[in-house]
Amino acid sequence: MKIFNKRLIALIFFFILIFSRPVLGVSCTLPSSGASSDEIQQIINECSRLADESHQQVLTLNQQIGLMDNQIKIAMLKISQTESQIKALEQEILTLSGKIVRLDSSLDFLSKVLLSRVEESYKAKKTSGVTLLFSSKSFSDFILRYRFLQTAQLHDRELLISMEQTRTNYDEQKILKEKAQADLEKLNQQLVGQKAKLNSQVADRKKLLEETKQDEKKYQQLLAQAYAEKAAIEQALISGVKVGPVKRGDPIALVGNSGYPGCSTGKHLHFEIRKDGSWTDPGPYLSNKNVKDEQDNKGDVNIGLGNWPWPIEDTVRLTQFYGQTPYSWRYKYSGGIHTGYDMVSTSSDVIRAPADGTLFKSSEMCGSSSINIVYIEHENNLVSFYLHVQ
């Protein structure tokens, strides 16, 4: 695992502390140095609560930046907490390893002593009471030798008990160490995810500033475009014209850029699915496929858990995924969730129905532009949408 750049963390902390802008006058407080894990967790909980409460109240670019800064602080706090837990576990494993080594040495010593005692006990058992009596110089000598044998037998039993306790303790320490090692592996994996999330949040903040050029008017314009697209979909459900039944694989439209510049920034297909009127991730419906990740520039990624063919042909390039994305700040109406997949094809503009259903078409105003939308009503109250078509 690569060591996280602590100097970068320090620089980001400094940047946030100096330049962060509180959301609606509320800012997340960083913990004092030497804060306990419980104290850090309390601060994480409070910061998370503030971020959740302020999310829907963000109205300006400054407030959006403040919200992102708080989210970055939360990510940093979680990293700090996880690193502290990892350090404590590593120390625990080191201590347990020392105990196991000492117990192993004790077991080895006790085993040798016990073997020696077994030999002595075997010899003593071969000496009968009568032989012991006649071989003694006197009755007093007989009593002493007899008591010695009893004491030796008692010590043998104590040695066996001590060895059994040592072995039990040894096994317990090994179990504790194995559990601590498993927990450590989980924490290391968790830390990798937390650092990736922090890097993503820092990149999202940078992308927001680049997109808006730190201009409030541009920020409001981009928000308005997202709301306009949502409104166009809602209106299409009301005024869409029924075309008729379509079968899986039938061509239904061509990828376009309708809605530009009011609610589109370039030629692409926005593919969205609603189940029972609610947005849902298209991934579980689409078949498994390798696609180009052009949202995060991660090359080929494997997506799809269902049996629907993708609506456009290979090679599919995803410019924005479902869920939280670098552009999630635009989607206030969905709680910061991009409600579908934005995609383009390198081979064809033809859009095909992924499943049987009834096709509808609509053309709606989207800001100052007109956007073309087609959608298919499938069985089980499922609707698939295709936006920006030609």
d(CA 365, CA 232) in angstroms, rounded, equals: 7
Q: What per-residue confidence (pLDDT) applies to 264?
A: 87
d(CA 170, CA 154) in angstroms, rounded, equals: 24
Amino acid at position 218, single letter: K
d(CA 191, CA 307) in angstroms, rounded, equals: 34
pLDDT in tens, 294-335: 998 889 999 999 999 999 999 999 999 999 999 988 998 888
Which segments of the chain does DSSP mark as H helices, in order? 6-19, 37-55, 61-126, 129-135, 139-212, 216-239
pTM, two decimal places: 0.69
Query: Which two three-digit tokens encode residue 195?
Result: 């650092």
On whether the CB atoms of residues 319 and 343 are closer than 8 A, the answer is yes
Is pLDDT at 13 greater than 50 in this prediction? Answer: no
Q: How many CB atoms lie within 10 A of CB 75?
A: 22
The pLDDT mean for the chain works out to 82
On whether the CB atoms of residues 225 and 231 are closer than 8 A, the answer is no
d(CA 59, CA 30) in angstroms, rounded, equals: 25
* Torsion sign, CA atoms 272, 277, 279, 284: negative
Residue that the structure tokens 């080594």 belong to: 101
pLDDT in tens, 21-47: 444 444 566 666 667 777 788 888 878
Q: What per-residue confidence (pLDDT) applies to 352?
A: 98
User: Exposed, middle or buried: residue 64 (CB in 10 Å: 0-12, 13-18, 19+)?
Assistant: buried
Q: What per-residue confidence (pLDDT) applies to 139?
A: 52
On whether the CB atoms of residues 51 and 28 are closer than 8 A, the answer is yes
pLDDT in tens, 174-217: 888 889 899 999 999 999 999 999 999 999 999 999 999 999 99
List Cβ neighbours of 324 (8 Å cut-off, separation of 6 or more).
Answer: 336, 337, 338
Facing residues of 198 across strands? none
Average pLDDT of the segment spanning 83-106: 84
Q: What per-residue confidence (pLDDT) applies to 112?
A: 63
User: Exposed, middle or buried: residue 225 (CB in 10 Å: 0-12, 13-18, 19+)?
Assistant: buried
Higher pLDDT: 246 or 6? It is: 246
Q: What per-residue confidence (pLDDT) applies to 30?
A: 64
pLDDT in tens, 322-369: 999 999 889 988 888 999 999 999 999 999 999 999 999 999 999 889
Class of domain 1-214: mainly alpha
The Cβ-side half-sphere exposure at 373, using a 13 Å CA radius, reads 32
Single out the residue of 274, 232, 251 nearest to residue 362, CA to CA: 232
d(CA 317, CA 311) in angstroms, rounded, equals: 12
Q: What per-residue confidence (pLDDT) applies to 18?
A: 38
On whether the CB atoms of residues 317 and 300 are closer than 8 A, the answer is no
Q: What per-residue confidence (pLDDT) applies to 45?
A: 84
DSSP 92: H
Boundaries of every domain in the chain: 1-214, 229-387
* pLDDT band at residue 383 using 50, 70 and 90 as cut-offs: very high
The Cβ-side half-sphere exposure at 302, using a 13 Å CA radius, reads 2
